[in-house]
Chains A and B, each alone.
Chain A
Amino acid sequence: MEALLHQILSGLATGGIYASLALALVMIYQTTHLVNFAQGELATCSAYVAWSLIDAGVPYWMAFVLTIAISFAVGVVVERVAIRPVAHGSVLTVVIVFIGLMLLLNSLCGWIFSYTIKTVPSPFPAQPLFGNTYVTTHEVGVIGVTSVVVLVLYAFFRYTRTGLALRGVAANAESSRLVGIPVERMLGLGWGMAAAVGAVAGMMVAPLVFLDPNMMSGVLLYAFAAALLGGIDSPGGAVLGGFLVGVLENVLGAYVIGTELKLTIALLLIVGVLVIRPSGLFGKVVVARV
């Protein structure tokens, strides 16, 4: 029983990692209806920015805010420079640009920062909560920070005019333009916000798994699966999806099929769920029109 509890808690902690990146994926999807394969690499770059700032002596929270600001700017620039020129072509063309970005950023990080692992400090105390030996304070902190981000995003999309405009652009760019929404600016904003959410993910994940150029490449697939499982149009769903994937993977690996095939079986289950419920567990059902 104790072991099971351990697996579940540790699954929630890993789930927090998936959830935080899944949120960034949802953010891009909300504005562009695309899944950005370079999102993981962007988050890794943000973590390197944070590491450099902290290494240079900037206090943690100032570095935190600065990193988010820098990442936002980078997101806007990437959209303007790399995505917009091909945005009117085929979807696959944009996917190729994502792949190109992913290779480019990964390789640049390795070149600039080398491949040895780096330690990014945690903003949370090193002592475990109430002296428990199951989860560290940082892991609880990750879940807390992710929940805050979800609430902020939910409120933003639900209650602000800008959030509504962003959703409008994703649903139908042409109609949005006709009602006076500055579509280009919205797209830039969407990318910037996704990069900022990704930056939070990067800074939360790095203390857990150590920072190296491939930190997020493994996480991306899980985050992608989590986002779809929860419903890619719903931030809350994506986060629940993340926790679900984390726990599912741990419990399957520890008790059912062993560690060798746990990823394969977890993915099989997720795809199985999507076959039965294409809109995800918490997503909206969309009816197609001719």
Chain B
Amino acid sequence: MHKPWSLVAIPLAVAAVFIVSCSRSGKEDNSAARGSDPAANAEIKIGQTMPYSGPASAYGTIGKLQTAFFKKINREGGINGRKVNFMSIDDAYSPPKAVEQVRKLVEEDGVLLVFQPLGTPSNTAIHKYLNGKKIPQLFTASGASVWNDPANFPWTMGFNANYQMEARVYAKHILQTRPSAKIAVLYQNDDYGKDYLKGLKDGLGDNAKLIVAEATYEVSDPTVDSQIATLKGSGADTFVNVTTPKFAAQAIRRAFDIGWKPGHYVNNVSASVGSVLTPAGLEKAEGLMTVAYYKDPTDPQWSEDAGMKEWREFMAKEYPEGNLSDGTNMYAYLAARTLVQVLEQCGREVTSENVMKQAANLKDFAPAQLLPGIKMNTSPNDYLLFEQMRLARFNGKTWVAFGDVLTAAK
């Protein structure tokens, strides 16, 4: 007897949800109108996917800071007189979601470029699509080496100092200072960890056999204590620590507590004085080495620095909920400044082609948040922003740069 209602209910419900969720735009694909808009004052549409929810939500602060950043830019009159419409949406660190969201940004919203999508998996998922559509995938928030491939993927450019390159710097330093080292490596069991490991092995070359122990951890592991015990047990005297902040702090503290004092290199990802070394215990971190390219906001040596003051003022005014001891907020600020530089270089011609052309034409760009001597340089054949790094040693209070500005050989 209750047939008629259910008959209608099912298709109706489906229809209703589709209409609600799809009604925002019509059938046409907006991408045709992109960029070439003759109206010189039209807004610049920039898209972004970020893990606001899910396992990597710690990085969501990048998108939040940059949203605040472009709000400020707009209030101050925009870029070359144009307002920026910055659309940053959640992909939950899931590659299928990233594909879906990026398609929305490109096909529905008609963005000029996709800025700093986060994570290697999500970026890999949209790599081919964006290059097919000729939309810039600009300054990916991932240090994988694949983003520097202008011959095959001219529309993709990374931002981070490349993981493999950083690892090669450590390899070089190890070979110079302790050629008979016994190396132990702790790395995260994913693309990020494996990229570092590859770089380290490449850098060691024929000496790769110096690596006497490797251990991995999963982000879901509560501690890395067991791994540290294993690495110590291997008799290694050099420790390359490729871990994210929480695990880096655990590893530094644990190595000290069990009386293991190797030559200890910690990756740049976890070199923050405030959010890694302080929790681990500053006295336990003494003697640590890392490479750096931007200033650590929690390092006391920059407390009176002009670049740092500019950043701190921005944080206080525009993004007060942001954490001042989180180095990610410095990273996000730098990336946003670099994008503004590219768009300013574009002048009146804000098209996808010109954006890539200008991004590949950065010459000695050095915002005051970079370490002295470090500059960004790109060319049409080389998309790597940071080719220079400095080794630094922790003296118990602050990072002290030593040696020259290094240019990593590719």
Contact = CB atoms under 8 A, between A and B. Distances in A.
Chain A complexes with chain B: yes
Interface stretch (B75-83, B107-115, B221-229): B221-229
A134 B258 contact: yes
Given A7-B229, A10-B226, A116 B220 contact: no
Interface in B254-313: 257-259, 274-276, 278-279
Interface of B: 53, 55, 57-58, 60-61, 189, 215-223, 225-227, 229-230, 232-233, 245-246, 249-250, 257-259, 274-276, 278-279, 323, 325-326
Contacts of A14: 222-223, 225-226
B323 A7 contact: no
B246 A6 contact: no
B253 to A, nearest CB: 9
Given A117-B246, A209-B246, A212-B246, A110 B230 contact: no
A271 interface: no
Residue among B58, B225, B275 with the highest chain A CB neighbour number at 10 A: B225
A190 to B, nearest CB: 26
A186 interface: no
Given A117-B279, A119-B279, A212-B58, 14 more contacts: A6-B229, A114-B61, A114-B323, A115-B61, A116-B58, A116-B326, A117-B275, A134-B258, A210-B250, A210-B279, A217-B220, A218-B219, A222-B222, A259-B216
Interface string A215-235: 001110110000000000000
Contacts of A253: 226-227, 230
A114 B53 CA distance: 13
Contact of A209 (B58, B223, B275): B223
A107 B249 contact: no
Nearest to A113: B323
A6 B58 contact: no
Nearest to B234: A3
A221 B219 CA distance: 13
Closest 5 CB pairs of A and B: A115-B58, A218-B220, A3-B233, A250-B226, A133-B259
Interface residues of A, number: 42
Contacts of A210: 246, 249-250, 279
Nearest to B274: A116
A25 interface: no
B223 A208 contact: yes
Contacts of A119: 278-279
Contacts of A254: 226, 229-230, 233
A116 B249 contact: no
Contacts of B325: 116
Residue among A10, A110, A212 with the highest chain B CB neighbour number at 10 A: A10
B269 to A, nearest CB: 13
A176 interface: no
B227 A116 contact: no
B212 to A, nearest CB: 14
A281 B275 CA distance: 42
Contacts of B55: 214
Given A6-B233, A116-B245, A119-B279, A133 B258 contact: yes
Contacts of B221: 218, 263
A210 B249 CA distance: 8
Interface string A108-125: 001000111111000000
Contacts of B232: 6
Interface string A186-223: 00000000000000000001001110111001110110
Contacts of A208: 222-223
Contacts of A17: 222-223
Contact of A13 (B215, B225, B259): B225
Interface string A123-149: 000001000011010000000000000
A11 interface: yes
A218 B233 CA distance: 26
Contacts of A118: 279
A114 B326 contact: yes
Interface in A1-55: 2-3, 6-7, 10-11, 13-14, 17
A116 B323 contact: yes
Interface string A239-263: 0000000000110011000111001
B226 A11 contact: yes
Contacts of A115: 57-58, 60-61, 326
B250 A3 contact: no
A259 B224 CA distance: 10
Contacts of B276: 117
22 contacts: A3-B229, A6-B258, A10-B229, A11-B226, A14-B226, A17-B222, A17-B223, A107-B57, A114-B61, A114-B323, A116-B58, A117-B276, A128-B257, A205-B222, A209-B222, A209-B246, A210-B249, A217-B220, A253-B226, A259-B189, A259-B217, A259-B227
Nearest to B279: A119
A116 B297 CA distance: 14
B233 to A, nearest CB: 4
Given A210-B250, A260-B189, A117 B222 contact: no
Contacts of B226: 7, 10-11, 14, 249-250, 253-254
Contacts of A260: 189, 216
Nearest to A126: B281
Contacts of A107: 53, 57
Nearest to B259: A133
A214 B55 CA distance: 8
Nearest to B227: A259
Contacts of A263: 218, 220-221
B320 to A, nearest CB: 12
Nearest to A118: B279
Contacts of B219: 218
A7 B258 contact: no
B215 A10 contact: no
B57 A136 contact: no
Interface string A74-111: 00000000000000000000000000000100010010
Residue among A119, A210, A218, A249 with the highest chain B CB neighbour number at 10 A: A210
Contact of A133 (B60, B257, B326): B257
A221 B220 contact: yes
A128 B218 CA distance: 28
